[in-house]
Structure 1
Amino acid sequence: MSEEIEPTPISPTTTTSPSSTTQQQQQQHYLHARREPFEYGLLPIPKLIFTDGTTTLTSLKEKLIQRASDHHNRIDALGISETLQISIDNARLLLDTLAAILPSDSDPLVAAKPDEICEVGVDVNDLVLFLYIQSYKRILPRTHKDSAVVSDVWPSTSAFDGFLSQLSPLQLARSNSRRFMPSPADEEAHQLSYIQKHLANILSLLAEPAEGAEDEESLVLTLERFEHLGFLIQFREKGSEAIQLSHAAPFFANSDPEMPAVPVLATQVHDWILQNIASALEHIAEKVSFKDNAPPVTSDQDVAMTDASTNSLSAARNLCFVEGISKTSVVRKASDFKGSSVKVLNCHDSVVYILAPLKYATIYGCSDATIVLGAIGKAVRVEHCERVQVITAAKRICIANCRECVFFLGVNQRPLILGDNHKLQVAPYNTYYAQLETHMSQVGVDATINKWNEPLVLGMVDPHDSLSHPAGVSDVQAESATCLDAEQFTNFLIPNWYEGESSEATTHNPFLLPEVYMASQQRNHESLVEIKQALRDVQLEENRKRELSSALHVYFKDWLYASGNIRQLYCLQSD
C-alpha cells in the first residue's frame, strides 16, 4: 500500500476578523463535506491515483493548462487522454464521472448532451481537485480496532481486510449491519478530516502567486478559483439548500459586483476553512455522542425514510434512507422525500419501490430483493448485493462486489462494473409507472439513449475500498455481466398508485426494446392468447370446467407461495 501523502505546509498568517454582522451570518452557516465526490467520484484507475501530494499534480496541472489554452481553461477527452496517458474510453469515463459529481448544474459539462461531453470537457481546476481526491480511501466499519488505520486515508492491509475479502457480499453485508457500518456522521467526519489534512495541498493547486511576488507565502486565490473549492465543501443554512461558497466567506462578502474581487491570501483562506472544519467536527462529535447515549433501537421493523427533520445531519446532507426492510414491500413516492438522494441499505427478501425523481441512489447489502428506482439524474451505485433485481432509469450506474444479480437498465452511460462480481446479468429496462416520463424529464434521463448492454469493466480490486482483497490480485480483471436471455425477459408490473395524479401519464416503457427482446415478448403474448382461447374453446361439462378452474387456481397459489410473491400481493393489497 502506498505511503500517506504529506501535506505541504502553508505558513500561518493573521486573519482579518469579519465584522459583527458577518460573524452573526457565519453562525448560521454550517460547513459540510460534499459527499458526492467521495461516494460516486472515485475511479480505480491506477494512472489517476497520485500518492505524492502536489509533487506530480503541480507539473501535471501546467501541462493540462497548456493543452487547454485554446479552450477557456477547459480540456476535452482527447487532451485528458494524451496528458494523463489513459485510453480515450477511460477519459470519457472520467468526464462522465465528473458530470455526475460537479456541484453546479449550470457547468457546461453537466449541461452537455451525451454526445457532446467529450468535446465540452472540464475546467482544469475541477479536474485537478478530482485527481487529488483519488488518493482518498473509504472509512472502515466501526468493528475495526486499529485506530491508527481508521484515522488514516491510506490504511495498510490488515488481517481484518483479508478475512472480510473471503466473505460473500451477503455475508459481508450482514457482518456490517447498521450497528457496525459507518454512520453518515462517521462518513462525513472522515471526509472532513481528509480535507483538513490535505487542505494546504488543495489550496496550493488552486492558488497563484500574487502579482509581482515570487515566494509561496504570497499565494493568492481569486474569487473564481475560490469557488472551485465548492467541489469539496459547501455551506448550508440550517435546513436549507447549499449556498454559494463566496457568500458564506468573509473575504468576498462586500465585493462590488461590477468590479473584480481582490484576490485573497491562500493562508487566510486556509485558516478560515480550518476553523470551520474544526467547528463542524465538534458539531458532529456532539451529535454522535448524543445518539450513542440515546436508548437503543431494538426493533427490526422498517426504519425506512429517516425523516430529515428528525436528523439534522441527514437534512444537511440531503439524504434519506430506506433501511432494514425484511419480508415485505414498501413504496416511496416523490412526496416522501425531502432530499435528492436515497440509500437503500440491508433490505432482504423484499420489494422496494422508490418512485421519485432523485439525483443519487445507493443500494448496499441487499439480498433476494427487487428494488425499483424511479429516475436517477446523476448516479446509482449498487454494492455488496446478492440475488437482487435492480430496475432503474438513470444517467449512470456503478456495480461493485455483487453476485447473481440482474439489472434491468435504462441508462445513458455505459454501466461501470468493478470489484469482485459473479454471475451478473444485464437486460433492457422493463417497466413503467404513470409519472415515469415526467420524473425522467425533471432529472434529465434521455429515453432515446440506452447503453444497458455496453458494460465497462475495471479491475478486480478497488484501491479506495477499505474492504479490499489481500495483496497480489490487483491485476486480476473483474468479471463482466452477460445479457439476460431474451426468453427469460418479462415486463415488471408496477401497480397504478399514481392514478389521477398526472394528466400526461406514462402508459408504456419509454425505452425502446431491442428487437430480440421485443420478438420474445410478442411470442409470449401470442402463446398466452392461444392458451386463453384454448381454455375458452375446450368442450367440457360444467363440473369438469369447475375442476379445471380449481386446479389452475391451486397451481397459481402454489407458485405464489413458492416464489414469495404471495407476500408482495398481501402488501400491495394493504397499501
Structure 2
Amino acid sequence: MNAGVLSCNPIGAAREEPWLHVRRELFEYGILPYPSLMHNDVVSGLRNLRDRLLLFQQASPICTWSLNNNSSSSSIQNGESDAVQTVEESSTGRQKRVATAAIAASLELSEAHAHLVLDTLASILPDEGEEGVDRLARTPLKEIDSVGADVDDVLLYLYVQSYRRVPSRPHRDAAAVADVWPSTSAIDRLLPSPSPLQARSVSFAKRLMPCQAEEEVNQLAYVQKHLPSLLALLAESTEDGENGTKVITAGKFERLGLLLRAKDANMVSIPLIQAAPFFANSDPAMPAAPVPLEQVLEWISLHICAASENLHQKPLVEKNGSSDSVATVASDVTDVMMMDAATSTVGSTTGAQTIFLPNGLLQLSNDWRPEGLTFVDGVVRASVLKQEQDIKGGSVKVSHCHDSAVYVLAPLKYVSVVGCSDSIVVLGAVGKTVRVEHCERVQLIVPTARITIANCRECLFYLGVNQLPLFTGDNHNLQVAPYNTFYPRLEVHLAQVGVDATVNRWDHILTLGLLDHNDTFIHTNGVANVQVEGAMLLQPEKFTIFTVPKWNENELGHELLTRANPFLLPKPYLLAQQHRSKAAENLKEMLYNAALEDNKKRHFTSAIHAHFREWLFASGNICQIYDLQRQD
C-alpha cells in the first residue's frame, strides 16, 4: 500500500497504478447553497431531471441570458450562430447539452441563479491536457450559455451538492447528523467561538477549521460512499430492458473526469478514459463496447486514493485495524517565504500527528505537500511575496494569516483565502475563481473571472471581476470597490488566464441563500432564516490607489510591462482620485513655497518626518517596509 492512500483493501494489499484522485476543485469551489438543488431520492430524482432538462432545452434552444452590465439582451460576436446551433443540435445528438433557460425552468430558478449554476460548473470542469476536455471548460465567459453544459456533467454536479449539507430539521440529534456523509463534514466541526481577530491567535483559529488533509480525506470518503449511485446515474440498460445489465459507455465514463483525475506510475496526469483498461486506446470512430457497471465500480474502487506527491515513498500503516480506516495521509505544512519565521505560530514539526475524524484516523506527515497547491499559511506580522516560479499547479491557498501583507503575483487558476484577519492580500490574475471564507478586516485586491465571499466581516474587496461577485453565508459590514492597482506583468497574466480587463462587474452583487440555523455555517446567535447580507459600495471619496512594490523590475527585460491599472475606473472614483491627487500636489507646493526662515523650515520638516515615523510604528507599517527591503 502506498502513502497517502485511504485504505479500503485488506492489510498488506497494494494499490496499483494508475492512481485515481478526487478533484478538490469540485468540492472547494463548486458547492452552492441552493435548497432546490437537493433531491431526496437522488438517483431517480436526477434521472427525471435529465428528461426535464432536455425537454426544456428543446423548447428554448437559444439562450436568453445576457452578460452585459446593463442586462439588455445582446448577441455574442464572432461565432454566435455556430455556438447556438451546437446547443440546438446537441439536444437530439449523441452529446446532449443544456443552457441557462433549461436549467432555470427545470429547477425553478431565476435566470441569474440558473446562469450561476452553469457558470460555476464551467469554472470547475477539468481543462488539463487535450483529450477528454469538455469545450465548456475553455469557453470564454461571454459564450458560456451559448455552448451549454453536457447534461451528465450537470447531473453529477447537482448530485455532489449534497456534500457538506446538514439535513434541514428542527433539531440536530445524532440520528440527523448520521444521515450526512461523511458523518459530519470537517467544516461542521466549527463551533461558536471567538473569531481570529478576537482570539488573536493563528494556532487557535486553525484548530477551528479543517486542514487541507482533512478536507481531502472527507472528499475521498464522500466519493467512495456515493460511487455506486454516481455510476448508476450514468448507467444505461442493455436491450433486455429492466432485467438487463446496467452498463457504462465510454462517453459516460468520460464524464467522471469532473470527479476524478488519473495519474500514472510517474505521477503524470493522463486522460481518465486512457487510464481505464476497458476503454484505453479505443478508436473514436469505433467506440469500445459498454462495460458492466459492477466492473467499472470494482476498477475505480481498486485505484482510487488520496492525492499526495509522496504517494509511492512510504508504506501504509493501519492505525485501528479497520479495513476502511484512514492511513498515512499528508498534512498541509507551511510553505511560505517569511521574513521572520519566529513570528509565526506555525512551523516545522517533528514526527507525525494523528487527527481523529468521524470516518477514521488521519496520520499527518510533516514532509507532505498537497498536490498542485501552493500554501501561504500562518503568516503573522510579516510580508510574503510569491511569484510565478514559486507557484505549483496554478492553485493557491492563503490561510490563517494575521496582521500581514501577502503578495501572490502570478497567473493562477484557483485561489482560496481562509481564516485571515487584519491583512492585505494582493493576488495576480485568477482565471477560474476565488473563494474567501471566514476572514475579518482583510483587504483583498484581485483581478479574476469569478469570486465567492462567505462568512466574512468588515472586509474590503477591490475587484476587477468578469462575473457577478457572489456573497453567501453570514457576512457583516463588507464593502466592494473597483480594482485599484497594477504590477509589471499584470496584463500578461490577464491574457494568460483569460480575464477580460474591459469587463468589470464589481458593483453587480449577487447574494444567495438564507441563513439557516440547520446549515453548516456559524451564525450570530439568534440569526436564522434571514436573507444573506451582501456588500456596500465603497464611497468614492474613500477610494485609494494601492501601489505594489516593484521587485526586480530590471530583470523583466524589454517585454511589454503594465504601467497603469488596466481596469477602467468608474467616473465618480476617477474624479475622487484626481481630486485627492490634486489636493496632495497643492499641499506639497504650498509647503515648498512657504515663506519660512531656514531654521523654521528645518523644524517644520523634522516635525513632518517625526509624525510620519510615529504613524509607521503605530500602524505597524514599519515592519512591512523592513520586509519589503529584505525582499528587494
TM-score (norm 2): 0.78
Residue 27 of structure 1 and its aligned partner are, at CA, apart by 3.1
Instruction: Give secondary structure in 1 for the equivalent of 2:161.
Output: helix
Structure 1 residues 195 and 292, CA, compared in 2 at 3 Å: closer, same or farther?
Answer: closer
Aligned residue type for 2:97: R
Runs (5+) with no aligned partner, structure 2: 1-13, 59-87, 91-95, 167-173, 319-325, 336-340, 350-364
Structure 1 residues 527 and 400, CA, compared in 2 at 3 Å: closer, same or farther?
Answer: same
Structure 1 residues 183 and 150, CA, compared in 2 at 3 Å: closer, same or farther?
Answer: farther
Matched, 1:438 2:516: no
Aligned residue type for 1:516: P
Instruction: Give secondary structure in 2 for the equivalent of 1:314.
Output: coil
Q: Are 1:137 and 1:463, in contact at CA under 8 Å, matched by a contact in 2?
A: no
Q: Partners in 1 of 2:34 and 2:196 — Cα distance?
A: 23
Other-structure match for 2:304: 277
Identity, % of aligned pairs?
A: 46
Aligned residue type for 2:394: S
Matched, 1:97 2:120: yes
Question: 1:203-282 counterparts in 2 under 5 A?
Answer: 203-210=231-238, 212-215=239-242, 218-237=245-264, 240-277=267-304
Aligned residue type for 1:38: F
Aligned residue type for 1:204: A
Structure 1 residues 395 and 240, CA, compared in 2 at 3 Å: closer, same or farther?
Answer: farther
Other-structure match for 1:526: 582
Q: Are 2:21 and 2:306, in contact at CA under 8 Å, matched by a contact in 1?
A: no
Other-structure match for 1:327: 381
Greater CA drift, 346-355 or 264-273: 264-273
Matched, 1:553 2:609: yes
Matched, 1:112 2:112: no
Other-structure match for 1:569: 625
Query: Of the candidates 156, 165, 184, which is equivalent to residue 212 of structure 2?
Result: 184
Q: Partners in 1 of 2:287 and 2:181 — Cα distance?
A: 38
Residue 156 of structure 1 and its aligned partner are, at CA, apart by 7.2
Other-structure match for 1:124: 151
Q: Are 1:391 and 1:430, in contact at CA under 8 Å, matched by a contact in 2?
A: yes
Other-structure match for 1:314: 369
Structure 1 residues 509 and 233, CA, compared in 2 at 3 Å: closer, same or farther?
Answer: same
Structure 1 residues 423 and 244, CA, compared in 2 at 3 Å: closer, same or farther?
Answer: same
Greater CA drift, 401-410 or 251-260: 251-260
Structure 1 residues 120 and 161, CA, compared in 2 at 3 Å: closer, same or farther?
Answer: closer
Query: Of the candidates 108, 120, 128, which is equivalent to residue 85 of structure 1?
Result: 108
Q: Partners in 1 of 2:327 and 2:46 — Cα distance?
A: 39
Q: Are 2:395 and 2:412, in contact at CA under 8 Å, matched by a contact in 1?
A: yes
Q: Partners in 2 of 1:438 and 1:531 — Cα distance?
A: 37
Q: Partners in 2 of 1:471 and 1:88 — Cα distance?
A: 33
Other-structure match for 2:449: 395
Other-structure match for 2:71: none
Q: Are 1:305 and 1:321, in contact at CA under 8 Å, matched by a contact in 2?
A: no
After superposition, what is the alpha-carbon deviation per residue over 1:48-99, rounded to whole angstroms, capped at 9, x for unaligned?
1223221211111122233345441111101111111111010111111111
Other-structure match for 1:45: 34
Structure 1 residues 382 and 362, CA, compared in 2 at 3 Å: closer, same or farther?
Answer: same
After superposition, what is the alpha-carbon deviation per residue over 1:221-256, rounded to whole angstroms, capped at 9, x for unaligned?
111110000101111236645310011111112423
Q: Are 1:410 and 1:451, in contact at CA under 8 Å, matched by a contact in 2?
A: yes
Structure 1 residues 330 and 80, CA, compared in 2 at 3 Å: closer, same or farther?
Answer: same
Instruction: Give secondary structure in 2 for the equivalent of 1:164.
Output: coil
Instruction: Give secondary structure in 2 for the equivalent of 1:215.
Output: helix
Residue 147 of structure 1 and its aligned partner are, at CA, apart by 12
Query: Of the candidates 476, 501, 509, which is equivalent to residue 422 of structure 1?
Result: 476
Q: Partners in 2 of 1:522 and 1:214 — Cα distance?
A: 73
Q: Are 2:178 and 2:184, in contact at CA under 8 Å, matched by a contact in 1?
A: no
Other-structure match for 1:413: 467
Other-structure match for 1:64: 53
Q: Partners in 1 of 2:545 and 2:46 — Cα distance?
A: 49
Instruction: Give secondary structure in 1 for the equivalent of 2:553.
Output: coil
Structure 1 residues 38 and 171, CA, compared in 2 at 3 Å: closer, same or farther?
Answer: farther
Q: Partners in 2 of 1:450 and 1:239 — Cα distance?
A: 42
Q: Are 1:162 and 1:468, in contact at CA under 8 Å, matched by a contact in 2?
A: no
Other-structure match for 1:135: 162
Residue 263 of structure 1 and its aligned partner are, at CA, apart by 1.3
Instruction: Give secondary structure in 2 for the equivalent of 1:230.
Output: helix
Please give the root-mean-square deviation of Cα atoms over the aligned residues, in Å: 3.6
Structure 1 residues 299 and 290, CA, compared in 2 at 3 Å: closer, same or farther?
Answer: farther
Q: Partners in 2 of 1:262 and 1:311 — Cα distance?
A: 45
Greater CA drift, 468-477 or 376-385: 468-477
Matched, 1:31 2:15: no
Residue 359 of structure 1 and its aligned partner are, at CA, apart by 0.5
Q: Are 1:347 and 1:369, in contact at CA under 8 Å, matched by a contact in 2?
A: yes
Aligned residue type for 1:347: C
Q: Partners in 1 of 2:553 and 2:430 — Cα distance?
A: 22
After superposition, what is the alpha-carbon deviation per residue over 1:542-568, rounded to whole angstroms, capped at 9, x for unaligned?
111111110110111122122221111
Q: Are 1:435 and 1:498, in contact at CA under 8 Å, matched by a contact in 2?
A: no
Q: Partners in 2 of 1:189 and 1:154 — Cα distance?
A: 10
Q: Partners in 1 of 2:345 and 2:204 — Cα distance?
A: 18
Runs (5+) with no aligned partner, structure 1: 1-23, 140-145
Greater CA drift, 178-187 or 119-128: 178-187
Question: 1:454-473 counterparts in 2 under 5 A?
Answer: 454-461=508-515, 466-469=520-523
Q: Are 1:398 and 1:417, in contact at CA under 8 Å, matched by a contact in 2?
A: yes
Aligned residue type for 2:215: E
Greater CA drift, 190-199 or 176-185: 176-185
Q: Partners in 2 of 1:122 and 1:293 — Cα distance?
A: 35
Instruction: Give secondary structure in 1 for the equivalent of 2:600.
Output: helix
Residue 522 of structure 1 and its aligned partner are, at CA, apart by 0.5
